Structure 1
Amino acid sequence: MGGWQWVKVVGNFLNLSTVAGLLVGVIGRARVSRGPRGLFFANGYRIKFPLAGAFTIGNVVLSKHERSYFDDEALVRHEERHSWQYFWLLGFLMLPLYVVGVIVSFLLTGDPASRNPFERLAGLKDGGYVERPIQPIGQTLTQAFSGLRSRPKGP
């Protein structure tokens, strides 16, 4: 681990984002292990939110998948970039700004990642995302509402 990565590790502990990530991992009954670049992997996360294959809080990358899921070097780079975003945004400022990014991206493209600046800066392709074009907001809303109507109703 390089010198700057140590700065990120210490910074994300001090801003409590890594502590929060470890707590979320414990609540989600994930198995935590050390990863490269000052990251921790929390695999076997059992809570169904968020829907992503992996998500990062501080230096903790949480996933419902097994550890081998992170054999993909590009994905690890993507998630590490998110850990730097927590560092630069002093921890919890990242969460509300990320949500705003999801909303704006969804309204512009019908996709929560395509125009989300945090996902773009982390590398869309590295994170397994496909860039969707900007579309009229009416089309986005039509897609969203047709998706809601086609879902089966609960008991």
Structure 2
Amino acid sequence: MPPRRWHVTRTVLTAANGTTCAGLLLALVTRTRIRRGRDGVLIAEGWRLRMPPASCFTIGSVIITRRSAEWLLAEERAVLFAHESRHAGQYAVLGPLFWPAYWVACGWSYLATGSYGVHNWFERHAGLEDGGYPPELPLRPWLRRSWLGRLWR
């Protein structure tokens, strides 16, 4: 699908499945300022809660950031914006099922490596390094010794 059509399709799907509405509701409740981003993505700037510890995260087609929209849209953060936009695409496909699937993937990754992202399927497919994650971490020793560790290699 051409990029422009995908942006429109993603925006329509995340609106229809309610995930963008959830992102906007969270932004409104936490009093973050909502701004227009690029490619059909909205940016909620000024997130003040401590969780999650990341500089930004995505719900539907809403990227929520501690910083300003200008910070996120700056050319030097184009890969971070692209990473978060790929998460919006994941929401378009999975809708609200993204949340439990993402947290299971976080749990597996943390169990395997001590990082929530390195072996998280969603983070890997959004671009690990684009999202600020290390490209690889060793499996925990107990897992390396198990049959799962042998399969993983």
Q: TM-score range by the shorter chain?
A: 0.7 to 0.9
- Structure with more helix by fraction: 2
Report the Cα offset of residue 136 of structure 1.
Answer: 2.1
State whether residues 31 and 42 of structure 1, in contact with CA within 8 Å, keep that contact through their aligned partners in structure 2: yes
Report the Cα offset of residue 45 of structure 1.
Answer: 1.0
Report the Cα offset of residue 49 of structure 1.
Answer: 1.6
1:4-153 matched pairs, under 5 angstroms:
4-70=6-72, 71=74, 72-89=77-94, 91-131=95-135, 132-137=137-142
> What are the Cα deviations for residues 68-127 of structure 1, in whole angstroms up to 9, with x where unaligned?
3312100011001000000111x1100011000111000000111000000000000111
> What are the Cα deviations for residues 123-154 of structure 1, in whole angstroms up to 9, with x where unaligned?
0011111132212248xxxxxxxxxxxxxxxx
What TM-score do you get using the length of structure 2 for normalisation? 0.85
User: Runs of 4 or more off by more than 4 Å in structure 1?
Assistant: none
Q: Whole-Å Cα distance in 2 between the matches of residues 47 and 28 of structure 1?
A: 8
What TM-score do you get using the length of structure 1 for normalisation? 0.84
Report the Cα offset of residue 7 of structure 1.
Answer: 0.9
Q: Which runs of 5+ in 2 are unaligned?
A: 144-153
Q: Could you say what the CA RMSD is over the residues aligned between the two structures, in angstroms?
A: 1.6
Number of residue pairs matched by the alignment: 138
Q: Which runs of 5+ in 1 are unaligned?
A: 139-155
